[in-house]
Chains A and B, each alone.
Chain A
Amino acid sequence: MLPAFALIRPRSLSEALSAISDDDVPYSGGTELLLAMRAGLQRPRALVDLKAVPELRRIALLDGGAEGTELRIGATTTHDELARDAVVRDSFPMLARVAAGVGNARVRAQGTVGGNLCFAEPRSDLVPALAALDASVVLIGPGGSRRVPVAEFILGMYWTVREPDELMVEVRVPVRPVRAHYVNLRITERPSVGVAIRVDADGRCRLVIGSVGEQPLVLDYDGIHEVDPDAVSAAVEPVPDLTGAEDYKRHLVAVMIRRAMAELETGKKQ
């Protein structure tokens, strides 16, 4: 049985904002939070159910502005909705593929993009994929809203820059002509290592190593030829767990970087 809690169901963003606090926590799919509560790791006074807040559940292209054209992904968008969205599939095929592979089909139907980011379980496919695409999150709180790059949003295991009185509204992904790819090694519901790579039209390149350390490792290069898989393998700080010891994960990182680069170049699964 879960520990006792109250259930609050706001119908708008402002209602949701006034309902959350240190002990009254945002709740949507429950794929992370309910498990943590059952394990006794979290004991909130109330779950603030965000599923009926329309502002949080939409996917749309936003034109103009200083940031250029961006894809907005509402925080309570499920992985399945992201994977099946026509705009996402068309303009961000890597992101659609990543969302289609999260956990299992039930987790994808229940779990949300915002939940995955805010819970900050380090073994996430979405975090390195979004960081590689230079995505940001929009947080709103009593003092107004702020925008934080995904790469800076995650501070550590289960730890983000979000304050308890802030809500994640959406993720914004810039629309740019890039080539991007993601590979992972997954022997349980969560990846042991994930590698995302993005190459811009001018050849500049970003590499993100996810799931291995407490937070994703983000590396920017002037060109893909500068990527040295063995150097990155030496730079990561692996957290050993049941899916592998530190030296094994270092080995995997180099293998998966080479695989990601080869698949990006050839378009074929290695």
Chain B
Amino acid sequence: MTSTDTAADGVASFPAAGERACTIQTTVNGVRVERALDPRMTLVEFLREDLELTGTKVSCGLQVCGVCTVLVDDQPVSSCTYLAADVDGRAVRTVEGLAREGALNGLQRSFAEEFALQCGFCTPGFLMMATALLERDPDPTEETIREYLDGNFCRCTGYQPIVAAVRRAAARKAGEAGGEPS
């Protein structure tokens, strides 16, 4: 924390000078991480280059395409246009955090079963957006799914299988809750 300049009035201030001028404490997929970083580093640069979590991709760099979506405190954000410094004190979840001990989770299996991916480049973003949606609305209508995912682009599938996969994941979760085999 030596590089953090805390003024007498208690305002935390990270100077621009120095490549690793700001220290953050966060959790990424449940793992505690403390790092010194450049204030201008974006979250996706931090994830891919510092933590080597390369599941998160970047495409447009304009918050439009959704490819770089990760969750910060359960909210979906465009990690291409989000300062890594802003995850200080917050919890990050990426696509790497979905599978448990090498086993795909229900949403991921639903994507595979519905053929909801082809090249797969947009898939981490869709998975994280769908995760955020299902956590706020466990049984979304098709219209809700389309609205919520309308900021994510896929140039292969035509979207229909992706919507079906999210519906399937919701049904699978409901079935699991009811004690039926998924």
Could you tell me if A11 and B63 are in contact, using CB atoms closer than 8 angstroms?
A: no
Could you tell me if B40 and A15 are in contact, using CB atoms closer than 8 angstroms?
A: no
At the interface, yes or no: B175 with Cβ under 8 Å from chain A? no
Contact sample, A vs B, 19 pairs, CB 8 Å cutoff = A2-B42, A3-B40, A6-B14, A6-B16, A9-B11, A11-B11, A30-B82, A34-B82, A38-B61, A45-B16, A46-B16, A105-B76, A105-B132, A106-B66, A106-B151, A109-B76, A109-B77, A110-B77, A189-B63
Name the contact of A110 in the complex, choosing from B16, B78, B150 (C-beta under 8 A): B78
Could you tell me if B81 and A35 are in contact, using CB atoms closer than 8 angstroms?
A: yes
Report the separation of the CA atoms of residues A157 and B70 in the bound assembly, to the nearest whole angstrom: 32
Known: A15-B9, A51-B86, A106-B78. A31 touches B40 (CB 8 A): no
Name the contact of B151 in the complex, choosing from A3, A46, A103 (C-beta under 8 A): A103
1/0 contact string of A196-237 vs chain B (CB within 8 Å): 000000000000000000000000000000000000000000
Could you tell me if B39 and A6 are in contact, using CB atoms closer than 8 angstroms?
A: yes
Residues in A neighbouring B132, C-beta threshold 8 A: 105
At the interface, yes or no: A104 with Cβ under 8 Å from chain B? yes
- Min CB–CB distance A1 → chain B (angstroms): 6
At the interface, yes or no: A4 with Cβ under 8 Å from chain B? yes
At the interface, yes or no: B83 with Cβ under 8 Å from chain A? yes
Number of B positions contacting A (CB below 8 A): 36
- Min CB–CB distance B181 → chain A (angstroms): 32
In the complex, which residue of chain B has the Cβ closest to the Cβ of A15? B11
Interface residues of B (CB under 8 A from A): 9-17, 21-22, 39-40, 42, 61-64, 66, 69, 75-78, 81-83, 85-86, 129, 132-133, 148, 150-152
Chain A residues 38-59 with CB under 8 Å of chain B are 38, 45-47, 49, 51
- Min CB–CB distance A169 → chain B (angstroms): 18
Chain A interface extent, by class: 20 to 34
In the complex, which residue of chain B has the Cβ closest to the Cβ of A10? B11
Report the separation of the CA atoms of residues A220 and B128 in the bound assembly, to the nearest whole angstrom: 45
1/0 contact string of A17-38 vs chain B (CB within 8 Å): 0010000000000110011001
- Min CB–CB distance A131 → chain B (angstroms): 25
At the interface, yes or no: A170 with Cβ under 8 Å from chain B? no
Report the separation of the CA atoms of residues A19 and B66 in the bound assembly, to the nearest whole angstrom: 33
Could you tell me if B83 and A30 are in contact, using CB atoms closer than 8 angstroms?
A: yes
At the interface, yes or no: A178 with Cβ under 8 Å from chain B? no
Residues in B neighbouring A11, C-beta threshold 8 A: 10-11
Could you tell me if B63 and A104 are in contact, using CB atoms closer than 8 angstroms?
A: yes
At the interface, yes or no: A5 with Cβ under 8 Å from chain B? yes
At the interface, yes or no: A7 with Cβ under 8 Å from chain B? yes
- Min CB–CB distance A13 → chain B (angstroms): 12
